[in-house]
Amino acid sequence: MTTYLNCLKANKSETQVCRPQSKAYLECRMTNGLMERDSWDNLGLGDVPDLPGAPADYTEASLSVPSAPCSVPVK
């Protein structure tokens, strides 16, 4: 989530630029059982590439901030 917010801040709140970060965040939530798994097409992210350098899924061990579930490390 932090990565997505940082992206928005860096890109003057242009959401289109930050769609890969949004996709990574939702993947984390689905992987960790925080939301039901759904197809990327249903979520409106079917055409969005995976975030470069991001692992396919995130676990609690990979969180950058323990109190912020599904934080994607900033590269």
Percent of the chain's residues with pLDDT above 90: 56
pLDDT exceeds 60 at position 38: yes
Q: What is the pLDDT of residue 10?
A: 96
Q: Is residue 69 part of a domain?
A: no
> Which of 56 and 4 is assigned the larger pLDDT?
4
Q: Is residue 23 part of a domain?
A: yes
pLDDT exceeds 70 at position 34: yes
Give the structural domain span for 22: 2-62
List helix spans (H) across 1-75: 2-10, 19-31
Give residue 53's pLDDT band: very low, low, confident or very high (50, 70, 90): low
Say if CB 72 and CB 54 are below 8 A apart: yes
Question: How many domains would you assign to the chain?
Answer: 1
Q: What is the pLDDT of residue 19?
A: 94
Q: Is residue 73 part of a domain?
A: no
Q: Is residue 29 part of a domain?
A: yes
Q: Is residue 26 part of a domain?
A: yes
Q: Is residue 57 part of a domain?
A: yes
